[in-house]
A and B are shown apart, each in its own frame.
Chain A
């Protein structure tokens, strides 16, 4: 079956530090890959996505590259801000299946001034 493994949190960084949150996956076929973010008190929001191998998703300074050879989709940002403090979820979805998304456990990021 499908599964997503992401690094345990919480991750605490100083403002302007470099961020990497690791994510690896197991899936049949060719899934689409996603990063969702949940800010305090809010719902899950799609941050970025990649739908095929070697695609790079990017948004708000965050990037992730779909690496089929290593089954990974690591999230990176060059310079984090306090406003990036949130929980980040790596996820995948196979084509078909009415958008049944498989999520990781989430990684809490805290950015301190």
Chain B
């Protein structure tokens, strides 16, 4: 089965630094997503992206966050100035058509630790 690939698997950064989390969605998929899970809490929706623009975002996704599809294969999440509370597992996902019952394919996640 095709896979969503995320790099790096672990990222450690100092508070206030910028980080970029990288994802390679499945090649024929058109819809892309970021979710995150703070340790011990629920997996939370951050943002969805289609046709080179954000289609929906949560209240978590403030001005410190941005997403980009810089080329035909990568999908990135940038946190401009990290805070301690940004420490979490970040999951990238993609789907083919974005319909309500369409299967989401998730990557294995990037564990971000902000010190």
Contacts and interface: CB of A to CB of B under 8 A. Distances in A.
A32 B101 contact: yes
Nearest to B92: A43
Contact of B104 (A46, A96, A104): A46
- SS of A interface (majority): loop
Given A94-B100, A95-B100, A96-B100, A102 B106 contact: no
A61 interface: no
Interface residues of B, number: 33
A interface residue count range (under 10 / 10 to 19 / 20 to 34 / 35 or more): 20 to 34
B56 A98 contact: yes
B40 interface: yes
Interface of B: 3-4, 6, 31, 33, 35, 37, 40-45, 48, 50, 55-56, 58, 91, 93, 95, 98-109
Interface of A: 4, 32, 36, 41-46, 49, 51, 89, 91, 93-106
